[in-house]
Amino acid sequence: MKASPSDQIAILEVQKLDNQLASLAQREATLPETQALSSVTIKRNNIRDLRVAAETERTDVKRELSRAEGDVEQIVTRINRDEARLSSGTGTPKELEQTQHELGTLNARRAELEEAELLIMVTVEDLTNRISELSAQEEALNAEIADCEIKLENALTLIINERSAVNEKRAACIAPIADDLKKLYTKLAEDNNGNGAAPLVGNECKGCHLTINTTEISRIATLPADEVVRCEQCRCILVRE
């Protein structure tokens, strides 16, 4: 293939610009701001899950508390009824004795239920405090996430602006190059991890960084300046300087 020396130098410049674009893509993929946002988001999500679990547990415990309060109310109603019966003296001595015995049993049961009710109330209070603590942590992490998102957006904006500038230079650089050379470069770059052209410095291809044997170097030296040379190792376009 033939290509003017100026086109060959231009295609090498295109390669440099493509390398910059690849570097920008790598930078974008490994931004510390992305990792920071991911890390804080994971922390926030964990705290949120703990808060939701605590709220669910508190709802269940409150339901249990309502049942306990209902049980106590029933016992109190029966106690009041028995106390009223004893106060009125209505009934035979045996019936009154049975009522007195039942009243003792009811009071003992009431004490048990009220103790259980108190424990449930303590659990509700503990869960409420835990929910408040988790909510505060979640709120703080949400603020941190917002800050990380701003930093990430700023970092991405810088990359976008740099990429736009490089693409503009690339478009201007590649436009005047002969179509055959452009097509060859594009195919080689696609097949070779982005490496389509490289300078030949001394006897070394700067694309694969391998030394070219003396025989091949001698052959290349005899070729006209407009002859497109390829590296035998990586197959990229070798641009003689």
Same domain as 36, residue 18 = no
pLDDT in tens, 24-75: 999 999 999 999 999 999 999 999 999 999 999 999 999 999 998 888 889 8
User: Can you name the residues that pair with 240 across neighbouring β-strands?
Assistant: 200
Same domain as 204, residue 90 = no
pLDDT at residue 90 tops 90: no
The confidence score (pLDDT) of residue 137 equals 98
Mean pLDDT of the chain: 93
Same domain as 230, residue 153 = no
Classify 107 as helix, strand or coil.
Answer: helix
Same domain as 218, residue 163 = no
Work out the burial of residue 115: count CB atoms within 10 Å of its CB; fewer than 13 is exposed, 13-18 middle, 19 or more buried. Answer: exposed
Same domain as 83, residue 109 = yes
The confidence score (pLDDT) of residue 228 equals 97
CA angle 119, 125, 128 (to 5 degrees): 145
Q: Please compute, for residue 164, the number of CA atoms within 13 A of its CA located in the half-sphere on the CB side.
A: 6
Give the span between the Cα atoms of 16 and 199, in whole angstroms. Answer: 10
H helix or E strand, kind and range, residue 206 = none
Same domain as 137, residue 55 = yes
Torsion of the alpha carbons at 134, 136, 141 and 143, rounded to the nearest 10: 160
pLDDT at residue 179 tops 80: yes
* Residue 97 pLDDT level (bands cut at 50, 70, 90): confident
The confidence score (pLDDT) of residue 216 equals 94
Same domain as 141, residue 50 = yes
CA angle 75, 80, 83 (to 5 degrees): 120
CATH code, domain with 92:
1.10.287.1700
Same domain as 91, residue 168 = yes
Which residue range(s) make up the domain with 74? 30-173
Residue that is last in its domain, among 118, 148, 173: 173
Same domain as 134, residue 93 = yes
Same domain as 154, residue 75 = yes
Least confident of 21-35, 104-118, 174-188, 191-205: 104-118
* Residue 95 pLDDT level (bands cut at 50, 70, 90): confident
Same domain as 59, residue 16 = no
Same domain as 57, residue 146 = yes
- Average pLDDT of the segment spanning 116-120: 92
